[in-house]
Structure 1
């Protein structure tokens, strides 16, 4: 069983990653953090929760942790031409953004504030690592790597608890947003 943490900006491609992680029998989805990218971080967090619910996950099994609102140094870019304003433009059949079943995927602190990505990642990865058998977590990033860069900087002591970081980004030859730029790198080129 592979322990996986998803860091996503849903988006259609990220919705597919969530679907696969939820339904793969060899993966234990540890948690989902979200970032700016295909849409604002508000939408990407809600989209991740909507996808988890739609693809059969339970809010008792996995939580969504909202992450970076903007890149490390630049202003946030979004891609409404491709993904719509909300990141999943045109997708039908998902629960609404304010559906209580969607909101249940967010873990809250005692004051009712949503626990953010860095806290959720560090706590859950530390818990897997602390089980004593040397279990590590694979981090899969299919959006800008802002959360990953912050995690590695702030929680450098937990890097050894990460088996690998798998990133969807970059390109060979022509980029998908300009002659040379791939979107996930373009959104935060300082983070990878």
Structure 2
């Protein structure tokens, strides 16, 4: 059994017990029900992890979000509102802890993750007006590699709009080219 604070923590909530609420249908009470999972729990998690991480001078906490935190999608308003607020909080927090060797970031996923509960919802036609064939997919191992590479201390961030990754790495070279209409990027790791 391991003890202590982990080196890397990835938080990616996926509450599929209920469907997201669209912008025009969203009211204050409904939005309040989405805040614990997408805003309050991440802040509690950071409050628990960061003291020890900053004391030892290393660590990374990455929060996974859908692309709707930076690209408005009316059908996902109940999820994107608290997550967008969290992204702003993460930016401020990263500024405070970066000098102590700790990184806080946001993995903004621009595709459905293969085999995920969200992908199963899309495949079973739970989202009106979305053609399942139009939604691009990504294998979870691709995202895992992006996260594991991100936490390494020798990283120099690329200027790629799709993904932030070690300069010169194979994945950086692939993503630094313009998309030329190939669709949504796999992910975007934002280290603020």
TM-score, with length taken from structure 1: 0.33
Q: Which is higher, the Rg of structure 1 or of structure 2? A: 2
Which structure is higher in helix share?
2
TM-score, with length taken from structure 2: 0.33
